[in-house]
A and B are shown apart, each in its own frame.
Chain A
């Protein structure tokens, strides 16, 4: 209940702020002054193009592949499935465009099998994403693979649905 009120209040504040910001823009633009060329990333007025993977705003844009940061794998496999290639490519493109970006690829396994073998499996998955990103222009010094094996599950039920969520590589930006 308390949270619902907080949410309502937050929405109200957000709407008010939005109204204040949009008001000046309602003025007709004067045709004499040529618009300054946009300084790429800092253009906050227009919605980001979801396919522009160099645009950091797409990290929070659900329309963009850049907002997706988990790659899932088949049991005892480390092949990046075709449906996840696009996500990896998006992050490779971002890393290529931003030399200062640093990415940790956290490899994970499900609970089946032994812990140290699963450390190896998690690393192999991390390496698969690492190789794909490097092939698409990310530089090797931007990428670090860390395997957690089966030690960091997101789900703790012993069934395939849960296991499939745990077999993953998380793309974690330590610098954007």
Chain B
């Protein structure tokens, strides 16, 4: 049943449209496997009442695309809509019931009274009860119409699932193109739907491990531009950047604390990789772990009480946790040969890892309370999991043939999607926090 239902979906490839920013190859997003219980919803084209001409991509298309990609919704094709009401009073619910739609969204786009930007005025109705579930005005600045549409999708998602949407967030990732001396690495930031990718730094030397600051304004990353690994922190909008660490040995795996005041990082100045914590205001750095093994890939628990990290102190890499103040690390993952590169769910209860078994690496999620793994992906070289800020999806890096691509999987493993870049390798995705 699910297969038949998905035939249509497989044909529908959502292309993050409009390539006016042609400097960077566009990401395309395609659903690989959907959800049989997706909610049928109609996002009716909104009446365009703004002063400037309507854009080529309509607001309702952006909203439908977001909801569709979540795997939880089955938005109706505009071509199948017999009528297109733009306010609640004009909805003839009986007609929509016949079309087997459960929910309907109607609205208008206007220029605000002060004359700048856009107001998206919309209502969400339950078609069966005719109840109005949501009535809102979302106001955004000029040039932010897409962001506004994503915000509307966030609200609809939250109203119907109880979980805040993450469509108005962004993703960062690394691309690698060319071979040998022509190799080029870029750190790219794009909207969560792949739209508008912009390179924020490029280098002929490797770039890796992008990490967002909790306010979404900065990215920390590792660059080999000086001939050895070094950590930089860069303002995403201005491009201003600061060298954080470039000592002898490895300077890697930056991770901001939830309050943004500290950064965990891996340094091997003592001779082998150890977890360190840097106070961002004073620059003072304290060593947190002390062991001859490889200790790396630190990430903070959402409450800031623990740093989770990868260590092979038990023989093979596993996830451990330690207080940011130091002390004895405790082993966390108790199953499997190889568990590394943790990403912690926003509620702090689950840990996504790259799990190795023989030559296969898959994304698996460890439930801290039940102490059980759930393997989410079928890949052979899946790595770099990154939880969405609402915990609904996990973005990760995988391989197609010899090339690196990004994929996302729902936290329950039911929905998977592929983010395709037209050329080169894409790797190390990092999902931004919610940007307010």
**Binding between chains A and B:** yes
Q: Which of A112, A149, A156 has the most CB of B within 10 A?
A: A112
CB <8 Å contact, A112 and B381:
yes
CB <8 Å contact, A111 and B297:
no
Instruction: Return B382 CB to nearest CB of chain A, in Å.
Output: 11
Number of interface residues of B (CB under 8 A): 37
CB closest residue in chain B, given A154: B180
B310 within 8 A of A: yes
B428 within 8 A of A: yes
Q: Residues of B contacting A156 with CB < 8 Å?
A: 402
Q: Residues of A contacting B209 with CB < 8 Å?
A: 115-116
Q: Residues of B contacting A158 with CB < 8 Å?
A: 380-381, 399, 402
CB <8 Å contact, B208 and A124:
no
Q: Which of A114, A121, A123, A149 has the most CB of B within 10 A?
A: A114
CB <8 Å contact, A116 and B253:
yes
Q: Which of A21-29, A62-70, A140-148 contacts B (4 or more CB under 8 A)?
A: A140-148
Q: Residues of A contacting B273 with CB < 8 Å?
A: 119-120, 123
B235-275 Cβ-contact flags toward A at 8 Å (1 or 0): 00000000000000110110000000000001010011100
CB <8 Å contact, B310 and A117:
yes
CB <8 Å contact, A113 and B317:
yes
Q: A113-B356, A115-B384, A115-B428 are in contact. Are A148 and B340 (CB under 8 A)?
A: no
B308 within 8 A of A: no
Instruction: Return B103 CB to nearest CB of chain A, in Å.
Output: 41
CB closest residue in chain B, given A111: B381
CB <8 Å contact, A151 and B380:
no
Taking CB atoms and an 8 Å cut-off, the chain A residues in 125-168 that contact chain B are 127, 145-149, 151-152, 156-158
Question: When chains A and B are docked, how far (Å) is the Cα of A147 from the Cα of B206?
Answer: 12
CB <8 Å contact, B294 and A121:
yes
Additional A-B contact list (16), CB under 8 Å, known A146-B228, A147-B249, A158-B380: A111-B381, A112-B359, A113-B354, A113-B356, A113-B361, A114-B317, A114-B341, A114-B383, A117-B341, A119-B250, A119-B252, A120-B272, A127-B271, A149-B208, A152-B206, A158-B381
11 pairs, A vs B, C-beta closer than 8 Å: A113-B338, A113-B354, A114-B310, A114-B341, A115-B208, A116-B297, A116-B341, A117-B296, A119-B252, A120-B294, A124-B272
A interface vs B, CB < 8 Å?
76, 111-117, 119-121, 123-124, 127, 145-149, 151-152, 156-158
